[in-house]
Amino acid sequence: MKLIIAIIQPHRLEEVKDELYHAGINLITVSEVLGHGRQKGVTEYYRGTKESGNLLRKIRLEIAVNEEFVEPTIKALIKGAKTGEVGDGKIFVYDLNECIRIRTEERGPNAIG
Amino acid sequence: MKLIIAIIQPHRLEEVKDELYHAGINLITVSEVLGHGRQKGVTEYYRGTKESGNLLRKIRLEIAVNEEFVEPTIKALIKGAKTGEVGDGKIFVYDLNECIRIRTEERGPNAIG
Amino acid sequence: MKLIIAIIQPHRLEEVKDELYHAGINLITVSEVLGHGRQKGVTEYYRGTKESGNLLRKIRLEIAVNEEFVEPTIKALIKGAKTGEVGDGKIFVYDLNECIRIRTEERGPNAIG
Amino acid sequence: MKRFKFLLLGIFTLLSQLVFSQDVTSKINSGDTAWMLISTALVMFMTAPALALFYGGLVKRKNVLNILMQCFITLAVVSLLWVICGYTLSFSPKSLIPGFIGNFDFAFLKNVGLGASDTYATTIPHLLFVIYQGMFAVITPALIIGAFAERMKFSSFLIFVIVWCIFVYFPVAHWIWSTDGWLFKLGVVDFAGGIVVHINAGIASLVAAIMIGKRKYLKPTPPHNLTFTMFGAAMLWFGWFGFNAGSALGANGLAANAFVVTNTAAAAAVVIWFILDLFFVKKPTMLGSATGAIAGLAAITPAAGFVDVGASIVIGAASSLICYFMVVFVKNKIGYDDALDAFGVHGIGGIFGSIIVGVFASPLIQSAYSGLLFGNPKQLFIQVFGSVVVIVYSLVLTIIIFKVIDIFMGLRVSEKEEAMGLDITQHNERGYTVIE
Amino acid sequence: MKRFKFLLLGIFTLLSQLVFSQDVTSKINSGDTAWMLISTALVMFMTAPALALFYGGLVKRKNVLNILMQCFITLAVVSLLWVICGYTLSFSPKSLIPGFIGNFDFAFLKNVGLGASDTYATTIPHLLFVIYQGMFAVITPALIIGAFAERMKFSSFLIFVIVWCIFVYFPVAHWIWSTDGWLFKLGVVDFAGGIVVHINAGIASLVAAIMIGKRKYLKPTPPHNLTFTMFGAAMLWFGWFGFNAGSALGANGLAANAFVVTNTAAAAAVVIWFILDLFFVKKPTMLGSATGAIAGLAAITPAAGFVDVGASIVIGAASSLICYFMVVFVKNKIGYDDALDAFGVHGIGGIFGSIIVGVFASPLIQSAYSGLLFGNPKQLFIQVFGSVVVIVYSLVLTIIIFKVIDIFMGLRVSEKEEAMGLDITQHNERGYTVIE
Amino acid sequence: MKRFKFLLLGIFTLLSQLVFSQDVTSKINSGDTAWMLISTALVMFMTAPALALFYGGLVKRKNVLNILMQCFITLAVVSLLWVICGYTLSFSPKSLIPGFIGNFDFAFLKNVGLGASDTYATTIPHLLFVIYQGMFAVITPALIIGAFAERMKFSSFLIFVIVWCIFVYFPVAHWIWSTDGWLFKLGVVDFAGGIVVHINAGIASLVAAIMIGKRKYLKPTPPHNLTFTMFGAAMLWFGWFGFNAGSALGANGLAANAFVVTNTAAAAAVVIWFILDLFFVKKPTMLGSATGAIAGLAAITPAAGFVDVGASIVIGAASSLICYFMVVFVKNKIGYDDALDAFGVHGIGGIFGSIIVGVFASPLIQSAYSGLLFGNPKQLFIQVFGSVVVIVYSLVLTIIIFKVIDIFMGLRVSEKEEAMGLDITQHNERGYTVIE
Ligand SMILES: Nc1ncnc2c1ncn2[C@@H]1O[C@H](COP(=O)(O)OP(=O)(O)O)[C@@H](O)[C@H]1O
Ligand SMILES: Nc1ncnc2c1ncn2[C@@H]1O[C@H](COP(=O)(O)OP(=O)(O)O)[C@@H](O)[C@H]1O
Ligand SMILES: Nc1ncnc2c1ncn2[C@@H]1O[C@H](COP(=O)(O)OP(=O)(O)O)[C@@H](O)[C@H]1O
């Protein structure tokens, strides 16, 4: 089992959700984060005072999948999120030791989907 | 050392915190996420326009524990969060390589608690 | 590759960002979380009703780095976040199996920076 | 829906044939009219947005729209009800049951013209008096929302508002404010609604809180947005000038007195709650100050046209003290869940003010009215009597209404709906987006 | 910038030499003046904060400041434009083109004094009439913001507002409200701006929505903060009393009538939208109720000084019904992206109200005006004619203005800017902090 | 607490024995009274919610309730102080120290009746004049909150407000607005508080910002909720009509003129700030426009009853220009931390307006008052003199007051409290829930 974390542009969320859905991935956890990457943060001004280096809004997706779904998920994420411009984000993959469905107390690969 | 991530229903947070407390787990990090799982997202209407497939509010718990606390933590989470209905959430367990307490710069299992 | 998660005090964010920057770490993902640790939650009162055990606001940093950057990152985090008082937070380190830059579809250590 | 449209068409046909009294220009004082126009708008402003902000900020995020919707729909539904039958039942000087309820002379506002009324507010257009009073009818049931917040079925709520207006608000308003009212004739005074509005709504709130039962969750959650609550409190204070000084029904010295004592009572109440907070929870709280203001405003309402500035300080301060103990100690002791303290603040403040006016009413403000301190102990007894009558009436009727609604449609949302929040389950909407 | 300052200095020198008419005390009625002062403030309140809250809550978080800025800058720019040339072009009884547009007699408010006007609102200071009408000029283009929300370039928006006021609003106001206006002379009535404000802005909104094109994103996003929208709707309702009852231009029975019918029409419209929501989406929605209120208020605007309470219920209810179908069904069928339904609510409501006043105008309210139901079918034809003229004029002129701006500076922000949000790309600011 | 109650009872007993002057009906003009009633409510509205929204949106989330609480408690405490001793010290025509401070003739509002005053505002109830002026006393110290935001101890703040009112506001108001005031007798004019309110509060803000020191954090944080700031600015603009046009003390041509120039000056100031933003930061900002509006409004305040529309455009525009440079360049150069620019906007705008009225005052508005441009250079000197006197007085007294408070109780919260936020450390509350 793997856990996939993706940081994407907020306005690609709908596309990413669609692509994941078509790849058969329905279970996701989403949160709002701020990111600082290669993308230059937009400059803000408040009463003439410059605030640069600001963090940009990003969406963080957390998707736990069984091994065979890892590559399809990555593909779907890239398909939905890629615009080719700086700021498109990253995908991180980790090992997942255990997964438990709270409702049924099932464990392991069965609990993921 | 393990890291346990739990996605639970928002209204079970208090119960879960209580159960964790009784199991001797006091250190947690909590955040608000949106989840899409088996639970059918509630339909929303805005001026008659349907918005389905919406993400539902969930709470994400992050708990770093030493090995011997893994099972008690899982039990406490299930006890606090389980209602038996779709949407109760999941628990994910990972390996944690290192843990550092910033205040004291302690490392390893001692830093967790 | 490792993933470093740090939970810090909100008012240390600017210092931490500065220290990371000086250590050559520019890519981070930040989010707001609530934490319950050794620090006693502040008591709140609403129309005389006490609400104790409340969660405190913390900032969560997520930083993916190659091995050689792990220690510098930890040092920078400690330097920026440490005040010596309870509540300073924790740093957690995990193994990262894979990292993909969405824009270029690069993988592995090259995609991290 | 179709039926409703037919009804509307029927109403219209009826109305089109009416003859409006047309002595428009006679007697009307433009200054009084100007003040009453804006006062009416101010009282409307109290229900929405002010009360919506005040109450909305206090609930959980998932229930905020439900509160707002309850305020808004009360404004709409009671506005209609008022022109259809509310005004006539409340204020018609002729009665169906003498002293108890008006007849239908003014149903659909027939016989109400652009000219002044012979009976009420004789220097402003009769229509203006109607709508001014209508805004009081709107806010009264809206206050009760605080009691059953976060758990009442929306459909049951709506039925409750309509039925409660007809069987409780209109009669009580008639008793006290109509020239035909039996309590009016007895000499009960209520300048701007201490009895009619605050006691009435407060007692109904107590009943509501008890009959609907407690909210289901382990621990109390803090208000989701206290800034809204503060903005709402400030806006209520602002609108209350229309409520109290408007009740002079003209732009005159009496209005000025009501304005000043309203402000001073609110100020004194804030200061006392502040001090009590300091004493009991060690820090002055924003929510406390906002609550104190409302406690002072509720208490000065029945008295604003009868007492002087000195008395207003005492009334505001004492009301704050009493409400503090109700809300902070007594409620938790007894254990009913008056979610936003509609009874604890409006009810208690209203009772205190309605009675205490019998002590402080000064002939220097209105020469016809004196209280105990000015040698007229009788007024105090009358005030106690009037208050008790309305307490009992509101109590009994509200119990009956809640009971009947409970039997036919139930009062509460299901436990699961309560957990998910009323916004999504009652209205298919959410107040705020989380992620965009 | 420098040029602008020179211009200002020039203007000033000019003005300092003017002689103000000084018959201040004559004829002025203090009650009427009091009501018009506060009515003017109320109409100002509608543009900001009320409309800003209403519209601002409906957009995505990343575009909220852009909406607020559009409302605020419209208030500032049109306020200036109005005193410079707007008032005189709209209301000068002498004309550049007879019947079509005023001359420059009142440019920079020269010849406008503290005394009463001979022509308009003869019981209040002329300056007060000027500023009251100015607030109508402010809110009209502000309404259009709803149509092109979340995608229009700010610079183009600003030019559009100025040009549109000059070529569309000022002439149309002249036609209908100036004693020299050709539609006025024809007998077209428009009590508080059903044609001048709502049809005018509504049609421009339709054009804007179509010409600027749809927002780019896969699916609609829910309003980022529906509580703001509700507070805004309630504040609009509140301000609308100044808009409609203020249009009586005095504190009198007519104002009282306008006040009551405004409230009742809004209430009826809320109830109908509520019922339609129940029917079509199974749950009553907060956004629906707020939208319904605006639909009712827009429709009663032209009629408020002519119809009685019964008619107002029908007008509010019917407007709500029609707007519901426009917004929920027709818009999605046709497929233009009137983002916040400026056309669907203000335009449609305004058209309906402006025509229907020809049916319901009752001689019992103003004896000089009767509609179809009171034996004067001609008024209905006149109203249809007036409405159609303004629809066509606003349509054609707005198309031309948008086209020209598109050619010279473009209408839309880039796709990337739209994705990032207009707050950061147009104003270098964000509405809210995420992390602190 | 007990002592306080005894005090209150004492006050009451005192008051109950007073004889109110009862010539209620004589001379009172209902139109003027209507306008002053609503104007008073509007000025109250400025302190809360308007200023609370404006300032509250600008601070960090963790300090928002502290700002709101400061506004709210100022409203309460100064309201009480005003009726107890503020009004009499400020406005009693008889004096303790001739020309400098009033005597106690009107303490606890004794001798203030429902009838008109002989001295001030002779067409409205004396009580109404009292409360109208009271709202000015409320908002003045509230403005200073902007200077020491996010770091002042709440207890020290509260003592400061009370002491500052007694030793600074009441005397200065007496000097300029009392018929006994020495600056009044000298001929200093201040229509609605350019000197008394804005210079006074502005200078105190500068002192406060410098004496309390900078906020501790590495970089400035953006405003936590700019939408609140915009809503607040719009509501301040709205309330300012009561502030300025209300200062005509009646519903007349002068009020209309004040209304128009207030609106136009604000509009011009917004446009200039907009242009400067375009020039210096390339994009027009919402915060800039809101700030500009306040700069224009502050500057027109002393002039609103003396200058014409042309002059108002110049005054608004120039004030915006000057304040822009103060806030954006000078402040950062000098380096004091006037957190929300209370000095940079209110102080500077107030100084500019108070002086410039000596240039632009036109006899066509009030025949008794002319400025430099109308052949009366003396007025300019008088205005400069009056402004300088108040600047020096406010400066010195505020320094002393801050110093004394610092010695006895300290000014600042601890560094840790500042880091945690003032909401939780000063009030044990939080503005918003994060997770529910
Ligand atoms: N090494 C990293 N650790 C944590 N977060 C990262 C890392 N690299 C990128 N991110 C996240 O991904 C987002 C996009 O990265 P960015 O460098 O701007 O895009 P791109 O990969 O297209 O150059 C960042 O804003 C940040 O939130
Ligand atoms: N494979 C997964 N990856 C990421 N998040 C998941 C996954 N499965 C479930 N979740 C999270 O858990 C929540 C509850 O899951 P759901 O399927 O609705 O409940 P249940 O497990 O009771 O059927 C989801 O809303 C989602 O946030
Ligand atoms: N074992 C843990 N698992 C998850 N989060 C933790 C853990 N320990 C600490 N944290 C997070 O770190 C924050 C700071 O911890 P705390 O114990 O208050 O500080 P300190 O380590 O200085 O004593 C907590 O509020 C919590 O969010």
In this structure, what CATH number is given to the domain that contains residue E356? 1.10.3430.10
Q: Look up residue F155 and give its amino acid.
A: S
Which atom number of ligand 3 is nearest to the Cα of residue C89? 14
Query: Is F383 inside a domain boundary?
Result: yes
Check if F278 contacts A (Cβ < 8 Å). Answer: no
Mutation target vs C (from A91, A95, A96, A97; most C CBs, 10 A cutoff): A91
DSSP D13-40: HHHHT-------STT--HHHHHHHHHHH
With b for 16 or more beta-carbon neighbours within 10 A and e for fewer, the F208-229 pattern comes to bbbbbeebeeeeebbbbbbbbb
D431 CA → ligand 2 middle, Å: 24
Asked whether the beta carbons of E296 and E265 are under 8 A apart, the reply is yes
Say what the pLDDT of residue D20 is. 39
Say what the pLDDT of residue E434 is. 83
Sole residue written with tokens 């306005």? A11
Positive or negative: CA dihedral E401, E405, E407, E410? negative
Say what the pLDDT of residue B63 is. 96
Note if the bond before F284 is cis, omega within 30 degrees: no
Q: What whole-number distance in Å separates Cα of residue E67 and Cα of residue E75?
A: 13
Least confident of C34-38, C87-91, D72-76, E407-411: C34-38
The H-or-E segment that residue A88 falls in is none
Q: Is the pLDDT of residue E23 over 90?
A: no
First-last CA distance in chain A: 11
Q: Is B90 in the pocket of ligand 2 (CB under 6 A)?
A: yes
Query: What is the pLDDT averaged over residues E388-401?
Result: 98
Query: What is the pLDDT averaged over residues F398-425?
Result: 96
D121 CA → ligand 2 middle, Å: 64
Nearest CA in chain B to F433: B32
Among E202, E206, E201, E174, CA closest to E188: E174
Among B73, B39, B70, CA closest to B55: B39
- For A90, E287, F80, the CA distances from E291, given in Å and listed in that order, are 42, 6, 42
Q: Look up residue F161 and give its amino acid.
A: V
The H-or-E segment that residue C35 falls in is strand C28-36
Query: Is F25 inside a domain boundary?
Result: no
Question: How many C-beta atoms lie closer than 10 Å to residue A49's C-beta?
Answer: 15
Say what the pLDDT of residue D26 is. 54
Check if D325 contacts F (Cβ < 8 Å). Answer: no
Reduced to 3 states (helix: H, G, I; strand: E, B; else coil), residue D435 is coil
Q: What whole-number distance in Å separates Cα of residue A111 and Cα of residue A101?
A: 5
- For D52, E50, F231, the CA distances from E235, given in Å and listed in that order, are 12, 5, 12
- Tell me the pLDDT tens digit for each residue of F45-82: 999 999 999 999 999 999 999 999 999 999 999 999 99
Query: What is the pLDDT averaged over residues E75-101?
Result: 96
The encoded tokens of residue F375 equal 């052949």
Q: Which residues are A91's β-sheet partners?
A: A6, C100
Confidence band, pLDDT 50/70/90 cuts, at residue F12: very low
Q: Is the pLDDT of residue D13 over 50?
A: no
Q: Is the pLDDT of residue D108 over 50?
A: yes
Residue ranges making up the domain that contains F71 = 30-427
Q: What angle, 0 to 180 degrees and rounded to 10, lies between the N-to-C axes of helices F126-148 and F64-81?
A: 150
Sorted by where each starts, the structural domains of chain B and their CATH numbers stand as: 2-112 (3.30.70.120)
C51 CA → ligand 3 middle, Å: 20
Check if E6 contacts C (Cβ < 8 Å). Answer: no
Check if D436 contacts A (Cβ < 8 Å). Answer: yes
Decide: residue B84, CB within 10 A, 0-12 exposed, 13-18 middle, 19+ buried: exposed
First-last CA distance in chain C: 11
Rounded to the nearest integer, the mean pLDDT of chain F is 93
Q: What whole-number distance in Å separates Cα of residue F193 and Cα of residue F200?
A: 9
Asked whether the beta carbons of F194 and F298 are under 8 A apart, the reply is yes
Q: B83 CA to chain F: closest CA distance, Å?
A: 18
Closest CB from A45, A47, A50 relative to F291 = A47
- Tell me the pLDDT tens digit for each residue of E302-334: 999 999 999 999 999 999 999 999 999 999 899
For every residue of B49-68, which 3-state class applies, written as one string? Answer: EEECCCCEEEEEEEEEECHH
Rounded to the nearest 5 degrees, what angle is found at the Cα of D320, between the Cα atoms of D360 and D44? 85
Q: Do B102 and C81 touch (CB under 8 A)?
A: yes
Positive or negative: CA dihedral D141, D142, D145, D147? negative
Q: D192 CA to chain E: closest CA distance, Å?
A: 21
Contacting chains of C (3 CB pairs or more, <8 Å) are A, B, D, E, F
Query: Is E354 inside a domain boundary?
Result: yes
Q: Do B31 and F436 touch (CB under 8 A)?
A: no
Q: Is the pLDDT of residue E16 over 70?
A: no
- Tell me the pLDDT tens digit for each residue of E356-386: 999 999 999 999 999 999 999 999 999 999 9
First-last CA distance in chain B: 11
Asked whether the beta carbons of F34 and D251 are under 8 A apart, the reply is yes
C43 contacts on F by Cβ (under 8 Å) = 428
Check if F27 contacts D (Cβ < 8 Å). Answer: no
Query: Is F13 inside a domain boundary?
Result: no
Q: What whole-number distance in Å separates Cα of residue C13 and Cα of residue A34?
A: 12
Nearest CA in chain D to A14: D436
Query: What is the pLDDT averaged over residues C10-37?
Result: 92
Q: What whole-number distance in Å separates Cα of residue D48 and Cα of residue D51?
A: 6
Query: What is the pLDDT averaged over residues F363-380?
Result: 97
Mutation target vs E (from D1, D5, D9, D33; most E CBs, 10 A cutoff): D33
Among E158, E17, E179, CA closest to E81: E158
B90-95/B44-46 β-pairing: unpaired
Say what the pLDDT of residue E368 is. 95
Query: Is E432 inside a domain boundary?
Result: no
Asked whether the beta carbons of E129 and E215 are under 8 A apart, the reply is no
pLDDT more than 90, % of chain F: 89
Taking CA atoms only, the protein residue closest to ligand 3 atom 8 is B27
Confidence band, pLDDT 50/70/90 cuts, at residue F219: low
Positive or negative: CA dihedral F311, F317, F320, F322? negative
Confidence band, pLDDT 50/70/90 cuts, at residue C113: confident
Taking CA atoms only, the protein residue closest to ligand 3 atom 12 is C89
Say what the pLDDT of residue E189 is. 97
Among E354, E348, E346, CA closest to E384: E354
Q: Is A88 in the pocket of ligand 2 (CB under 6 A)?
A: no
For chain B, what's the residue count?
113
Query: Is D45 inside a domain boundary?
Result: yes
Q: What whole-number distance in Å separates Cα of residue E329 and Cα of residue D114?
A: 40
Sole residue written with tokens 């301000």? E239
- For E246, E306, E357, the CA distances from E312, given in Å and listed in that order, are 17, 10, 10
C2-8/C90-95 β-pairing: antiparallel
Q: What whole-number distance in Å separates Cα of residue D196 and Cα of residue D218?
A: 36
A17 CA → ligand 2 middle, Å: 15
- Tell me the pLDDT tens digit for each residue of E108-148: 999 999 999 989 999 999 999 999 999 999 999 999 999 99
Alpha helices in F46-125 (DSSP H): 52-58, 64-81, 87-91
Reduced to 3 states (helix: H, G, I; strand: E, B; else coil), residue F417 is helix
Query: Is D7 inside a domain boundary?
Result: no
Which atom number of ligand 2 is nearest to the Cα of residue B34? 27
Say what the pLDDT of residue E219 is. 67
Query: Is E110 inside a domain boundary?
Result: yes
Asked whether the beta carbons of F315 and F123 are under 8 A apart, the reply is no
Say what the pLDDT of residue F26 is. 55
Asked whether the beta carbons of A48 and F328 are under 8 A apart, the reply is yes
Among F175, F198, F240, CA closest to F355: F198
Among C110, C91, C90, C92, CA closest to C100: C110
DSSP D273-328: HHHHHHHHHSS--HHHHHHHHHHHHHHHGGGTTT--HHHHHHHHHHHHHHHHIIII
- For B31, D41, F294, F415, F430, the CA distances from F54, given in Å and listed in that order, are 30, 24, 10, 26, 19
Q: Which residues line ligand 3 (CB under 6 A)?
A: B 27-29, 62-64, 101, 103, 112; C 7, 35-39, 56, 58, 86-90
Asked whether the beta carbons of D26 and D119 are under 8 A apart, the reply is no
The encoded tokens of residue C71 equal 């220690």
- Give chain E's domain count: 1
Q: Is the pLDDT of residue F419 over 80?
A: yes
Nearest CA in chain A to D436: A10
Among E326, E143, E335, CA closest to E220: E335
Say what the pLDDT of residue B43 is. 82
- For E81, E100, E101, E137, E172, the CA distances from E96, given in Å and listed in that order, are 18, 8, 6, 20, 14
Q: Do C31 and B29 touch (CB under 8 A)?
A: no
- Tell me the pLDDT tens digit for each residue of A25-68: 989 999 999 998 877 767 888 888 887 767 888 999 999 999 99
Taking CA atoms only, the protein residue closest to ligand 2 atom 8 is A27
DSSP E264-279: HHHHHHHHHHHHHHHH
Q: Is the pLDDT of residue F3 over 60?
A: no
- φ/ψ of E231, rounded to 5, equals -60, -40
F62 contacts on C by Cβ (under 8 Å) = 57
Mutation target vs C (from A19, A29, A33; most C CBs, 10 A cutoff): A33
Query: For chain F, how are helix, strand and coil distributed in percent, rounded to 5?
Result: 70, 5, 25
Query: What is the pLDDT averaged over residues E222-230?
Result: 96
Reduced to 3 states (helix: H, G, I; strand: E, B; else coil), residue C62 is strand
Asked whether the beta carbons of D168 and D90 are under 8 A apart, the reply is no
- Tell me the pLDDT tens digit for each residue of D191-228: 999 999 999 999 999 999 999 999 987 566 789 999 99
